[in-house]
Chain A
Amino acid sequence: MRVLLTGLLASGLLGACTCQKKPAELDAGAPVPAPSAEWMQGKLPAPKPGEAPKKGGTFTLRVNLEPTGLTRLHDQMAEGTMTRLTVGPIYETLGRVDPKAPEGPLLPLLAEAWEESDDHLTLTVRLRGGVRFHDGSPLTAKDFKAVVDVILNPKNATAAIRNYLADLDAVTAPDERTLVVKWKRPYFLANRTFLGTIPAMPAKALDGDFDALPIHRAPIGTGPFRFEKWEAGSSMSYARHDGYWGQKAWVDRVVIRFVKDETVAAQLWERGEFDLMTRIPPTVWRAVEAPVEANRWAITGYQRSAFVENTYTWIGWNERRPFFGDARVRRALALLYPREQVARLVDLGLEPPTTCPYYASKESCDPAITPLPADPGGARRLLDEAGWKDSDGDGVRDKDGVPLRFTFLATTYSVKLGKLLPLFQEALRQGGVEGDIERIDPGAYSSRVRARDFDVIAMSWSSTDAVQDVFQIFHSSQAKEGSNSVGYANPEVDALLEQIRTEFDPKARAALERQVHRKLFDDQVYLFLSLRPQLDAVKNRVRGLVPGIAWYRLQDVWLSE
């Protein structure tokens, strides 16, 4: 019954679609203009001269996931997508990443200034004066100390964020506006993480049973927007905080609508329900480009915004398996990967290729390294050399009785992998390698990855900062429980990663990071795929949106009508 219903629903959508085109028929007859170059590339237009920002209006945006909570602290509620929707508009940190120079020093936000001791072990922060929380109470250094205490309390479900404070010695608040942070050992990212991650929350809202704190679902911060309401399963809204200490927001209200299903989201977008449509699937992005009547609404009604965040996708080989321990095998599999076809047919030319675990436009990546081109002949030679030959004539290579046959683990929801893996599977077969595909639900997927119970996984890593440390991902000490799920171990890389941790000079660090990049590439730890672009569309009336490494700043948004 479910399936029949789906079929009906689908035809219903088709019907709805033709009806929705009616408003556009007002100017039917006029040919649909070809999209501008900016529109095609997804560059938001520069501000129009003579236009001054004005107050008022409701800004509606689509978000693809509904969070379980609105907090950065709680393990089960902190979720990537929502973190950036709360940190910024509602919560503020002491410093923020400079959108123009993300790899440069942080800009002060709730801090007026800070000072780092010569031994990098003490950070003294001077808080901005006159800042008040949305509930009217003043922000003091004690509030920050309270947040840190909550995070450090081992009874609380804060393990994820506690990780960042592993080397913390003590935090003290000698007076209302001074915060002193002491570290046990020097680490180049320690202060930056502290300044850019710990949100300001009122101390009194953190009293009581941590799991049941109301602030997890009704946040109270110092940001330009205050939380208004949350209708579970449908939407959430923020209102402008008129008592904001800095540049006040322009729009009265931000409405976040949770629409998980891509098809439904595209329908609502077409009906004009979003000022900002986020995460447009590549197929839809390309489908609305042709200057035909059916696309008039998109071409004349919206500006497109495509930007690359600090996120890359990768395929990882579990090196605990007999075939993947050998770097030659991993390289051969990379040579079989149909890179050109995937770029053309799956990514539709929208995802820049990468080989680097660091922020792509940074000096930490070795510019001499380019992705391995597809080379089936080279792959076959490498596999022969590594001793994987088809000795029993069944078409699948084997060695010591073990066939070169493995299973890709993918979640049922990944559209990209649903297309990429069958292509890869066939390309592998040409090289005498058999790759099966197993799809499971996301919950089971993460527990399998945590248990290291997989052959091959495909995932992505992302960071909202351009300065980052990949120690957790590639150091051999992280193979058991950290993020080094593929079990990579190279003493040279270990030594470099350890050296990086205490290297405070950005230039010297970049040189070390470039060596890490080179070694990871030589070892083919991952098959690095591509940088994941954010594909959005913005209604014509919207002004002031500027995409950056940390998404958009909603307080800059204003509506021209």
Chain B
Amino acid sequence: MKGLRALWADRAARPAVVALGILVGAAVFADFLASDLPLAVRVDGQTHLFPCVTRPAALRGRSQATLTGTEWMIRTPIPYGPAQTIAATGEVRDGPPPWGPDGAHWLGTDEVGRDVLARLIHGARVSLFIAVFTVLIAVGVGMLIGGVSGYLGGATDAVLSRLLEVMTTFPLVFFLIALLSVLRTQSLWPLVLALGLTRWTDVARLVRAEVLKLKTLDFVLAARAMGASPLRIVTRHLLPNALGPVLVTATFGVAAAVLLETALSFLGLGVAPPTASWGELLTQAHRTLVHPGAWWLAVFPGVCIALTVLSVNALGEAVRRKVDGGV
């Protein structure tokens, strides 16, 4: 909270904080904002509260568009689910989708009639989920390896540094494509793990350098003289002091992870369909941009990606200014 207030005080970072706040809000409350099921409904003599989240079996196969015989219903602001195609909404229009923005679909629909806004909101959830957990894993692994490598030095350091160099020289996208072809599940975790376990190198290098610097400082020597165990020295004295730079890399890492996820989804290797993802929308945009000219499939996800990356980067800058003591 204190950190947030400090960031808010940084005027340059304020727009970024607002943009990210909206994005995180959309991601967290995605089910309340855009869903095929309503916020609340009374139908068949039963009242359902937040069926958009609880998804009761009684409403299976029904949606806000097709629910009949309701006594009352509170709709979600966007009455479409992210994966709801025209097979479920039953919409009929002159031509086939994609349909442009209008009163029913504010940002238009994709090639199978799914609402673009609903997909963007739920896509934010996917993007942020992947980005945050990727960075957590990367930071965890990076701090461990960097800390051990820097503190122990010698042969351990040599081995771990070579491992780090090997990881850095690996062409990341190719590695991920290969890895994702081998892993076979429908959940987001393989993607998160794949991204996290390849993105720890920056953190590790940074932590190692910090630890190398810190371990010769007096307070560390003092701790050692007092008989503190290596584990205690690393976890209580070295890593907490290396945290500042790590925080900066981590924010930039979020931006990089969002982009990587989009790139992989663009290549068709991201989240399993029909899960919404920004990159998946761009794939469709690539096919439909000129003929028949579905610009909305490119522009809106493009804006979301650009805004996210810019905001996170601006935030990273602000954090860096704080850590460096303000420039």
Cβ B184 vs Cβ A395 within 8 A: no
Assess whether B293 is interfacial by the CB under 8 Å rule: yes
Q: A3-B262, A341-B87, A348-B96 are in contact. Are A440 and B289 (CB under 8 A)?
A: no
Which residues of the other chain, B, contact A262 by a CB distance below 8 angstroms? 287
Cβ A3 vs Cβ B266 within 8 A: yes
Assess whether A266 is interfacial by the CB under 8 Å rule: yes
Assess whether B298 is interfacial by the CB under 8 Å rule: yes
**A-contact bits for B274-311, CB 8 A (1 contact / 0 none):** 10000100100111111111010010001001100100
Q: Which of B78-86, B156-164, B241-249 contacts A (4 or more CB under 8 A)?
A: B78-86
Cβ B273 vs Cβ A345 within 8 A: no
Cβ A394 vs Cβ B291 within 8 A: no
Which residues of the other chain, B, contact A294 by a CB distance below 8 angstroms? 293
Q: Which of A7, A13, A395 contacts B57 (CB 8 A)?
A: A395
Cβ B305 vs Cβ A444 within 8 A: no
**A-contact bits for B85-120, CB 8 A (1 contact / 0 none):** 111100000011100000000000001111000000
Assess whether A439 is interfacial by the CB under 8 Å rule: yes
A444 to chain B: closest residue by CB: B181
Cβ B259 vs Cβ A10 within 8 A: no
Assess whether B3 is interfacial by the CB under 8 Å rule: no
Assess whether A441 is interfacial by the CB under 8 Å rule: yes
Which residues of the other chain, B, contact A394 by a CB distance below 8 angstroms? 57
Assess whether B268 is interfacial by the CB under 8 Å rule: yes
A431 to chain B: closest residue by CB: B61
Cβ A1 vs Cβ B259 within 8 A: yes
With both chains docked as a complex, state the minimum distance between the C-beta of B174 and any C-beta of chain A, in angstroms: 12
Cβ B274 vs Cβ A438 within 8 A: no
CA A511 – CA B269 in complex, angstroms? 46
Question: CB within 8 Å of A: which of B27-67?
Answer: 57, 60-61
Cβ B279 vs Cβ A3 within 8 A: yes
Assess whether A76 is interfacial by the CB under 8 Å rule: no
With both chains docked as a complex, state the minimum distance between the C-beta of A283 and any C-beta of chain B, in angstroms: 6
Cβ B186 vs Cβ A407 within 8 A: yes
Which residues of the other chain, B, contact A166 by a CB distance below 8 angstroms? none
Q: Which of A4, A17, A413, A422 contacts B274 (CB 8 A)?
A: A422
Cβ B84 vs Cβ A426 within 8 A: yes
Cβ B298 vs Cβ A439 within 8 A: no
Cβ A344 vs Cβ B291 within 8 A: no
B284 to chain A: closest residue by CB: A418
Cβ A2 vs Cβ B181 within 8 A: no
CA A430 – CA B90 in complex, angstroms? 13
Cβ B57 vs Cβ A426 within 8 A: no
Which residues of the other chain, B, contact A338 by a CB distance below 8 angstroms? 87
Cβ A6 vs Cβ B292 within 8 A: no
Question: CB within 8 Å of B: which of A409-462?
Answer: 412-413, 415, 418-419, 421-423, 425-427, 429-430, 436-441, 444
**B-contact bits for A276-316, CB 8 A (1 contact / 0 none):** 00000101101110000010000000000000000000000
Cβ A10 vs Cβ B84 within 8 A: no
Assess whether A267 is interfacial by the CB under 8 Å rule: yes
Which residues of the other chain, A, contact B291 by a CB distance below 8 angstroms? 266, 283-284, 287-288
Interface centre among A2, A13, A270 (most CB of B within 10 A): A2
Cβ B259 vs Cβ A281 within 8 A: no
Cβ A10 vs Cβ B285 within 8 A: yes
With both chains docked as a complex, state the minimum distance between the C-beta of A208 and any C-beta of chain B, in angstroms: 35
Which residues of the other chain, A, contact B18 by a CB distance below 8 angstroms? none
A395 to chain B: closest residue by CB: B60
**B-contact bits for A1-25, CB 8 A (1 contact / 0 none):** 1111011001101100100000000
With both chains docked as a complex, state the minimum distance between the C-beta of B296 and any C-beta of chain A, in angstroms: 12
Assess whether A49 is interfacial by the CB under 8 Å rule: no
Q: Which of A267, A422, A427 contacts B273 (CB 8 A)?
A: A422
With both chains docked as a complex, state the minimum distance between the C-beta of A293 and any C-beta of chain B, in angstroms: 13
**B-contact bits for A348-375, CB 8 A (1 contact / 0 none):** 1000000000000000000000000000
CA A11 – CA B285 in complex, angstroms? 11
B261 to chain A: closest residue by CB: A3
Cβ A263 vs Cβ B87 within 8 A: no
Cβ A17 vs Cβ B273 within 8 A: no
Which residues of the other chain, B, contact A413 by a CB distance below 8 angstroms? 268
Assess whether A50 is interfacial by the CB under 8 Å rule: no
Q: How large is the interface on B (under 10, 10 to 19, 20 to 34, 35 or more residues)?
A: 35 or more
Q: A7-B302, A437-B274, A439-B273 are in contact. Are A14 and B295 (CB under 8 A)?
A: yes
CA A441 – CA B267 in complex, angstroms? 10
Which residues of the other chain, B, contact A437 by a CB distance below 8 angstroms? 272-274
CA A427 – CA B274 in complex, angstroms? 13
Question: CB within 8 Å of B: which of A519-543?
Answer: none
Assess whether A393 is interfacial by the CB under 8 Å rule: yes
Which residues of the other chain, B, contact A429 by a CB distance below 8 angstroms? 60-61
Q: Which of B262, B263, B290 contacts A267 (CB 8 A)?
A: B290
Interface centre among B186, B273, B279, B306 (most CB of A within 10 A): B273
Which residues of the other chain, A, contact B274 by a CB distance below 8 angstroms? 422, 425, 437
Q: A14-B295, A17-B290 are in contact. Are A393 and B87 (CB under 8 A)?
A: no
Assess whether B177 is interfacial by the CB under 8 Å rule: yes
With both chains docked as a complex, state the minimum distance between the C-beta of B257 and any C-beta of chain A, in angstroms: 12
Cβ B302 vs Cβ A345 within 8 A: no
CA A2 – CA B258 in complex, angstroms? 11
With both chains docked as a complex, state the minimum distance between the C-beta of A420 and any C-beta of chain B, in angstroms: 9
Which residues of the other chain, B, contact A267 by a CB distance below 8 angstroms? 290
Which residues of the other chain, A, contact B86 by a CB distance below 8 angstroms? 341, 345, 423
Cβ B273 vs Cβ A4 within 8 A: no
With both chains docked as a complex, state the minimum distance between the C-beta of A21 and any C-beta of chain B, in angstroms: 12
Cβ A263 vs Cβ B272 within 8 A: no
B97 to chain A: closest residue by CB: A345
Which residues of the other chain, B, contact A14 by a CB distance below 8 angstroms? 289-290, 295
Cβ A2 vs Cβ B290 within 8 A: no
Cβ A7 vs Cβ B282 within 8 A: yes
CA A393 – CA B55 in complex, angstroms? 13
CA A287 – CA B114 in complex, angstroms? 20
Which residues of the other chain, A, contact B87 by a CB distance below 8 angstroms? 338, 341, 422-423, 426-427
Cβ B272 vs Cβ A439 within 8 A: yes
With both chains docked as a complex, state the minimum distance between the C-beta of B253 and any C-beta of chain A, in angstroms: 14
Which residues of the other chain, B, contact A395 by a CB distance below 8 angstroms? 57, 60
Q: A10-B289, A287-B292, A345-B97 are in contact. Are A3 and B181 (CB under 8 A)?
A: no
B90 to chain A: closest residue by CB: A341
Q: Which of B85, B282, B289 contacts A422 (CB 8 A)?
A: B85
Name 14 A/B residue pairs within 8 A (Cβ), A-sorted: A1-B259, A4-B306, A6-B282, A14-B290, A283-B291, A286-B292, A345-B112, A394-B57, A407-B186, A413-B268, A415-B287, A422-B85, A438-B186, A441-B269
A-B pairs, 3 with minimum CB distance? A412-B268, A287-B292, A287-B291
Given contacts A344-B96, A413-B268, 11 further A-B pairs with CB under 8 A are A2-B259, A4-B305, A263-B287, A283-B111, A283-B288, A286-B292, A287-B292, A345-B113, A407-B186, A423-B112, A425-B274
Q: Which of A's residues lie within 8 Å of B, judged by CB? A: 1-4, 6-7, 10-11, 13-14, 17, 262-263, 266-267, 270, 281, 283-284, 286-288, 294, 338, 341, 344-346, 348, 393-395, 407, 412-413, 415, 418-419, 421-423, 425-427, 429-430, 436-441, 444
Q: Which of B's residues lie within 8 Å of A, judged by CB? A: 57, 60-61, 83-88, 95-97, 111-114, 173, 177, 181, 184, 186, 259, 262-263, 266-269, 272-274, 279, 282, 285-293, 295, 298, 302, 305-306, 309
